[in-house]
Amino acid sequence: MGQLYVDQIDPQSGTSLTIGESGQNTVIPGNDIRTNVVQDAGGNAIFTSNGSGTLSGINSGFGSAMSLITSTTVSSSVSEVDFTSGMTSTYKAIQFRIYYWNQSANAHPQFQASTDAGSSWAVLGTNGQSRGYRTSGSGGWGYDGTVTEGSATPINLSETTASGADSSQCAHLTIYNHASTTLWKSFFYRAVRKNSAGNLFDEWINGHWRTASAITGIRFKQASGNIDSGVFKMFGIK
- Residue 178: per-residue pLDDT: 96
List the single range of 79-83, 182-186, 192-196, 233-237 with lowest mean pLDDT. 192-196
Contact at 8 Å (CB) between 210 and 142? no
The pLDDT tens digits for 105-153 are 888 888 999 999 999 998 988 777 665 655 555 555 555 555 566 677 8
Over residues 47-60, mean pLDDT: 78
Of 203 and 186, the one with more pLDDT = 186
- Residue 84: per-residue pLDDT: 96
Of 134 and 176, the one with more pLDDT = 176
Share of the chain above pLDDT 70, in %: 83
Mark residue 83 as left, alpha or beta (left: phi above 0; alpha: psi -120 to 50; beta: remaining): beta
pLDDT bin (cut points 50, 70, 90) of residue 30 is confident
How many Cα neighbours within 13 Å face the side chain of 206? 7
What is the average pLDDT value for the chain, to the nearest integer? 83
| Cα–Cα distance list, 66 to 45, 50, 59, 171 (Å) | 19, 21, 12, 18
Domains of the chain: 29-62 (no CATH), 66-237 (2.60.120)
The pLDDT tens digits for 209-222 are 899 999 999 999 99
